[in-house]
Amino acid sequence: MSILRSIADGLRSLFRKEQVGHELDEELNGFLEMAAEEKVQRGMSRKDALRAVRLERGNLAVTKEVVRAAGWESLIETSWQDLRFGARVLRKNPGFTAVAVMTLALGIGANTAIFNVIQTVVLQPLPFADPDRLVWLNGKMPQTDDAGVSPADFLDYRDGNRSFEQMAGISQVVMAGPSNLSGDKPEQVMTSLVSAGFFDTLGVPLLLGRDFQKNDEEVDTSQVVILGNGIWKRDFAGDRNIIGHNIRLDEQSRTVIGVLSSDVPLISQAQIWLPTPRLHFLMHLRGGHFLKVIGRLKPGVTSPQAQSDLDAIAHQLAEKYPDTDQGWSLRQRSLREVLIGPVRPVLLVIWAAAGLLLLIACTNLANLLLARSVGREREFAVRTALGATRIRLTRQALAETMILVLAGGALGALAASWGVSLMRVFAPPDLPRLQEVHVNLQVFTFAFGVSLLSGVMFALIPALQIGKGGFSGLKESTRNSESAAHRRIRSSLVVAEIAVSLMLLVGAGLLIRSFWLLIHVDPGFQTQRVVTAQLSLNGPSYNDPANRVRFWQELEERIRNLPGVEAVGATSELPLTGQHSDGPFKIPDHRYGPSEFDDAYYRQVTPGYLAAMRIPLLAGRWLDQRDTAKSPGTLLVNRAFAKRFFLGQDVLGKHLEVMGDSQPDREIVGIVGNISHRALSDPQEPEMYVGYAQYAPPTMNLVVRAVADPSTLAAALDETARAIDKDETLSAIRPLDDIVASSVSQPRFSSLLLSLFAALAVALATIGIYGVMAYSVSQRTNEIGIRMALGAKQSDVLKMVVWQGMKLAVVGALVGIAGSLLLGQFLASMLYRVTPRDPLTFVLVSIALFGVSLVANYIPARRAMRVDPMVALRYE
Amino acid sequence: MTDKPSDLVQGTLDMLILKILALEPMHGYGIAVRLEQMSQGVFRLNAGSLFVAVQRLQRDGLIRGEWKATENSRRAKYYALTAQGQKRLNSETREWGRQVAAIARILETS
């Protein structure tokens, strides 16, 4: 009851302040009058009586304040007053306020944006049911631990293990042949083959229909499909009655049995899913390691338990099928690690950089506030004299800071949402889940928390300084000098700022240098004015390889005759796109143990490809019209191949036995230049090139070198393809320059962001140094005046002030260098041909930072130099 | 500018005000005068301490105020004890007696 009454009473005083105040006035007045009356009756004059009462019972105005302050509502009221007053003070100093809010917004915005991305990409669980039990299973052998699993082995692992609830396989994404789903235009559809129960294993529910079952697999050609959610909405207008209908895919009619509730871009870009056709001969191979396998561990089964289970099966298989399975086993990693692991270090480094930036922003603000609090000592002294308590003054200062923090936080949240959109543009395409990123409550909470934390961090120091002086501020002259302790705090703040900026600069410098080296790697082919496109010939009419060869001959012939085309060719795997294929082979004279062989990149090219890419012929001859399906097998190898397998021998004329090839015996007829195939940062690997006429895979990449801008050719190329076969269409049309650029988009992204943060950090640090020095000069005007009156030259003053500031810069730089040497190792994995202790970067960065601090010191120093001794002395 | 009389044992002011109001409803000044009289001039309250205590008691529901005319036909707010206030006074008086007796016993032991 009494609490309720207290609340009601308090609310009454808050909202009906005037009436309540009036009542209190009347009551107190009555008190005064009655007391005075009594004294008058005893013979005092009325004036004396009133004075006596005031002396005895206290000043009425003060009493009123005291009574008011006793209620809880006064806390709210005074806080409100504090906020209003703080806002007024800040409005009166727009320069300070703007700098403070912007500084904070930058720090908070950068952190919130990065946190937003990290939260979605790294912290959020994968969008699958119970994702912690999902593991990724790789084929592992002495040469590689990143191979696939052969379909036959997969079945043995799936049926033989005791550790997994379920296990399912998925093939690479393939472009389906002519498909006309929407009915108006042939389109290229991406498909994946998956084994029965794949979506159940992953924990991705179906929106309609059912998952693949084992009897769907008992075919030679897949008869049923599951539609991805995206293509279902786009091409089938989200038709809920689609189950049981037939669609034409790859020139074949297939029945829709299900629709996914969402696509699974993390696992595969496929738009339509087909069951693995178990009766197809490819599915019986033990040597073809082309399935990726995902397993769902039984609850409670640990990874080592599962591993020993898998190893036992691998052992059995090796005994049973020594030719194909000896040396092979499965390597298991958590699905999360496989999907997110590669980008995590990059994001964490960027986050750390954003954190350092925030640290600088807070330091800067602490500095600004500290300088201001010294300037306001008089104001606080006056207010103390008028009866403000120290708590009240501190509260007042905190209120001002809170306004700054909240404004900075709000602006920062805004900046963060821009930052996220900006990151979407610049982020590497292999950064998973970026499209899922959106600003949510958690992120706002984070932004708010960061703001609050920074508020406390930078408000505490100045707040603790307040009121220490007490009334002394009034007694002293108008110009009070900064205390030594104060100066020490501010100096160490500047040192910290410089140190952190230097660390950020070093990080950015290292990444930029590494990026520069990376993009100046000679890839071994010329990228300018080249456009590429993909084309799959999958329809039944192209089951005969001869038809595929004819199509491509015709296509290249026609394209070569287009105006503006300089050269044309095609390859099964384009460099730097992630397309990849290995060819196992044996050199006839060598001795190999069981299931031993050599291995090199293996691609099929049309005769014009190497010339169109400007990959040079070093010896021998090109592939050409002489190399047909009926002529003896030939191939080209690159220099790295010759060096690795035939060091010091004449390579031309040597024969290879290429395993699994239709023409296993092939003669090396030429040597060509090396190229960077997987990544610009990887060493150039041995490669083999086989003529398309002798080995014609269905999917090829067209490469056209134009005379001028290649993008104008895109439409003409597509038309040319469709003129030959109206069902064929080009997809993924991209300039080669783009492909190269996006292959380095991750280092570009990280160096760009880190440079941005470093630049901001240096800007903030410069403001910090400038602020401290300018303030110190204005504090020392008097001292400088005396020095000059005693004969100090202008240049002496300049030197003194600049040196004072540069001392801080030097100490800060030393601390920063030490910190960079310590933290540099975290960058090591992101660097290409640069060590984290690269002396050039350290030297350049230090010089740049000294240059900037010199300027920041010079401006206030010049002002000090111009001090007129007379004016300075008279100023007192 | 102290808001509590240093010469009053902390917490006793509320009890004394309750005691005074238990005798008869009284306005602010009356409470101050009565306290002074009854303590024979030992407790002299300033207005701040008095009204803070009065406001607190009122919010706790121990007393309630009502505007009335005084004998000199002036308007004043008269405070009266509520039932709850009476209960509190009784218990505090008892507690106070116990404590004083205990303190006295301690001081008397030599």
pLDDT, tens digit, for every residue of A614-644? 999 999 999 998 999 889 999 999 999 999 9
Phi and psi for A356 in degrees, rounded to 5? -65, -40
Contacts of A62 in chain B (CB under 8 A): 1, 48
Q: Taking CA atoms, what residue in A is nearest to B64?
A: A5
Q: What band does B3 get if pLDDT is binned at 50, 70 and 90?
A: very low
Among residues A248, A124, A201, A161, the alpha carbon closest in space to that of A538 is found at: A248
For position A876, what pLDDT does the model report?
A: 52
Instruction: Please compute the mean of the pLDDT values over residues B28-34 and round it to a whole number.
Output: 88
Q: Over the stretch A363-380, which tens digit does the pLDDT of each residue have?
A: 888 777 777 776 677 777
CA distances from A177 to A230, A249, A268, A279, A721 (A): 19, 7, 18, 21, 14
B 30-69: CB under 8 A from A: 30, 32-33, 44-48, 51-52, 55-56, 58-61
Q: What angle do CA A865, A868, A870 make, to 5 degrees?
A: 150
Residue owning tokens 């629709």: A259
User: What confidence score (pLDDT) does residue B90 get?
Assistant: 92
pLDDT at A575: 93
pLDDT at A483 > cutoff 80: no
Which chain A residues are closer than 8 Å to B1 by Cβ? 62, 66, 387
Interchain contact, A9 vs B3, CB within 8 Å: no
pLDDT for res A100: 84
Taking all residues of chain A, what is their mean pLDDT, rounded to a whole number? 84
What pLDDT is attached to residue A178?
Answer: 62
pLDDT in tens, A492-520: 888 888 898 899 899 889 988 998 898 88
- Contacts of residue A83, defined as CB under 8 A and 6 or more positions apart, other chains included, come to A399, A402, A403
Q: What confidence category does residue A686 fall into, taking pLDDT thresholds of 50, 70 and 90?
A: very high
Q: What are the extents of the domains in chain A? A: 2-71, 142-327, 343-519+745-874, 538-727
pLDDT tens readout for residues A188-243: 788 899 999 999 999 999 999 999 998 898 888 888 999 999 889 988 888 899 89
Across A25-153, the runs of DSSP E, i.e. the strands, are 134-140
Candidate ranges A422-436, A490-504, A600-614, B56-70; pick with highest mean pLDDT: A600-614
Are B51 and B79 a contacting pair, CB within 8 Å? no
- Number of CB atoms found within 10 A of residue A426's CB: 12
Max Cα separation, chain A? 139
- Which of these, A653, A851, A652, lies nearest to A769 by C-alpha position? A851
Task: Say how far apart CA A455 and CA A172 lie, in whole Å.
Answer: 52
Domain covering B12-108, topology = Arc Repressor Mutant, subunit A (1.10.10)
pLDDT band at B4 (very low <50, low <70, confident <90, very high): very low
Contacts of B61 in chain A (CB under 8 A): 1-2, 5
Compute the distance between CA of residue A68 and CA of residue A57 in angstroms, rounded to an integer.
17
Class of residue B41 by CB neighbours under 10 A (exposed 0-12, middle 13-18, buried 19+) = exposed
CB pairs under 8 A between A and B: 81
Determine what percent of chain A is predicted with pLDDT higher than 90: 25
Domain residue limits, chain B: 12-108
Nearest Cα to Cα of residue A687 among A696, A695, A678: A678
| Average of per-residue pLDDT across A283-292 | 79
pLDDT tens string A91-102? 888 878 888 888
Place of tokens 């209003």: A84
Mean pLDDT of the region A127-132: 88
CB pair distance less than 8 Å for A58 and B46:
yes
Structure tokens at A427: 């982020």
Please report which confidence band the pLDDT of residue A462 belongs to, taking 50, 70 and 90 as the band edges: low
Q: Judge whether residue B25 has pLDDT over 70.
A: yes
Q: Are B90 and A36 in contact (CB under 8 A)?
A: no
| Percent of chain A topping pLDDT 70 | 93
- What are the tens digits of pLDDT across the range A446-459? 777 877 776 776 66
Centroid of chain to Cα A740: 20
Picking from A623, A630, A718, the residue whose alpha carbon sits closest to that of residue A672 is A623
Separation between Cα atoms, residue A227 and residue A842, nearest integer Å: 55
Which tens digit of pLDDT belongs to each residue from A383-405? Answer: 777 777 777 777 777 788 888 88
- Do A770 and A801 touch, CB atoms closer than 8 A? no
- Residue A529's pLDDT band (boundaries 50, 70, 90)? very high
Over the stretch A4-60, which tens digit does the pLDDT of each residue have?
767 777 777 667 667 777 888 888 888 888 888 888 888 888 888 888 888 877 777
Phi and psi at residue A523, to the nearest 5°: -75, -10
What is residue A481's predicted lDDT score, i.e. its pLDDT? Answer: 54
Q: How far is B48 from chain A (nearest CA, A)?
A: 4
Query: Can you give the pLDDT at residue B1?
Result: 35
Which two three-digit tokens encode residue A197? 């129960």
> How far is residue A294 CA from its own chain's centroid?
26
How many beta carbons lie within 10 A of that of residue A833, not counting itself?
Answer: 11
pTM of the full structure: 0.72
CA distances (Å), origin A721, targets A155, A544, A678:
40, 19, 29
Of B44, B45, B59, nearest to A9 by CB-CB distance is B59
What confidence score (pLDDT) does residue A14 get? Answer: 67
List, as ranges, residues 12-31 from B with C-beta within 8 Å of A.
Answer: 27-30
Q: Which residues numbered 88-107 in B keep a CB inside 8 Å of some CB on A?
A: none
**Candidate from A298-312, A366-380, B73-87 with smallest mean pLDDT:** A366-380
Shortest CA distance to A113 belongs to which of A453, A407, A420? A420
Distance from CA of B95 to the nearest CA of A (A): 22
User: Which amino acid belongs to residue A563?
Assistant: P
Q: Which of B28, B56, B72 sits opposite A31 (nearest CB)?
A: B28
Residue A873 contacts residue A785 (beta carbons within 8 Å): yes
- A79, pLDDT greater than 90: no
pLDDT of residue A654: 92
Tell the burial category of A822 from Cβ atoms under 10 Å away from its Cβ (0-12, 13-18, 19+): exposed
Rounded Cα distance, A102 and A96, in Å: 10
Phi-psi label, residue A222: left if phi above 0, alpha if psi -120 to 50, beta otherwise: beta
The answer to whether A28 contacts B59, with C-beta atoms less than 8 Å apart, is: no
Instruction: Show the tokens assigned to A72.
Output: 């809880």
Q: What is the pLDDT of residues A792-831, one digit of tens each?
A: 888 888 888 888 888 988 999 999 999 999 888 888 888 8
Residue A473 has pLDDT above 60, yes or no: no
Distance from the Cα of A24 to chain B's closest Cα (Å) equals 9
The burial of A35, by beta-carbon neighbours within 10 Å (0-12 exposed, 13-18 middle, 19 or more buried), is given as buried
CB contact under 8 A, A26 and B60: no
Whole-angstrom CA distances from A219 to A214, A274, A281, A407, A414 are 10, 12, 11, 65, 56
Closest Cβ–Cβ partner in B30, B46, B75 for A57: B46
Q: Is B5 a residue whose pLDDT tops 60? A: no
